[in-house]
Amino acid sequence: MTRSASRHDLYAIIHKAMRLCMTDALVRFGRMDADDDEERAEAIEAVRSMLDLAAVHLEDENRFVHPALAARCADAAERSAREHAEHEREIESLRTGLRTLERAAPTERSGHALRLYRQLALYVAENFVHMHHEETHNMRALWAHYDDDELRAIEQAIVASIEPQTMARFVGWMFPAVSHPERVALLPEEAPPELVELALDAVDARLGRRERDRLAASRSGTVIMACAA
């Protein structure tokens, strides 16, 4: 276990982001007044946006992580791949449920919203179990068969494959979801100014000015001035 702390981890940061994004969407949906048009539209959008990111994340793992596991770690990806197929079906079912809620008659809205909330809660719960398996079983298999440079190359391939707008949304969940030292490590000296700005804005929006300033203070004077303007 001590060894894992010093190894490059493909799952830890992005899964913290996904846990925050999923629980935020679930809680928003649970507290929604289904008869308030604006609130309903916002909650539906939050869930829809979460499902879109979950679909991209799942596809990234299918395209880049599972082939790496299959290449050197026998059938280590088998359970995750099976669960991904289930999650794809569940994402579609939840999307259908959101569309049904949008079209539901006023008398049916709150009942439908409650059923959908419970379905969403189970989806999130299944994802928590799923991510734990990936972070422990899959990551251990990868560490046994890949060195950190190879793992970073896989991660870079994932990052390069993601559209900038989608990446900005991942960044928006990632920075508020991780610890301050992890935020600092995600913004090395050579980080692009746009990334620094996105990260500071995300921390400001979700955690407040104090945490935003704490992260800014860890950067060079030039960057702080550029982003504080």
Task: Say if CB 199 and CB 213 are below 8 A apart.
Answer: no
Among 9, 61, 155, 204, binds Fe ion (CB under 5 A): 61
Q: Which amino acid is at 130?
A: H
Q: Which of 87, 101, 126 is nearest to 46 (CA)?
A: 101
Q: Which is nearer to Fe ion, 61 or 90 (CB)?
A: 61
Distance CA 4, CA 18 (A): 21
Please, are residues 198 and 168 in contact by the beta-carbon 8 Å criterion? yes
User: Min. distance of Cβ 130 from Fe ion in angstroms?
Assistant: 6
Give the dihedral sign, CA 170/172/178/182: positive
Size of the site for Fe ion (CB under 5 A): 1
Q: Give the interface segment with Fe ion, choosing from 36-44, 59-67, 70-78, 203-211 (CB under 5 A).
A: 59-67
Residue least distant from Fe ion (Cβ): 61
Contact status: 90 vs Fe ion (CB under 5 A)? no
Nearest distance from C-beta of residue 61 to Fe ion, angstroms:
5
Contact (CB, 8 A) for 203 and 176? yes
Locate all alpha helices (DSSP H) within the chain, ordered by sequence: 2-6, 12-31, 37-60, 66-72, 78-103, 106-133, 139-145, 148-161, 164-177, 180-186, 193-207, 209-217, 221-228
Closest approach of Cβ 200 to Fe ion, in Å? 29
Closer residue to Fe ion in complex, CB, 16/40: 16
At closest approach, how far in Å is the CB of 63 from Fe ion? 12
Q: Closest CB to Fe ion among 24 and 61?
A: 61
* Beta carbon nearer to Fe ion, 52 or 211: 52
Q: Return the range that interacts with Fe ion (CB under 5 A); candidates 24-32, 56-64, 95-103, 161-169.
A: 56-64
In this complex, which beta carbon is closest to Fe ion, that of residue 83 or of residue 204? 83
Sites of contact with Fe ion (CB under 5 A): 61
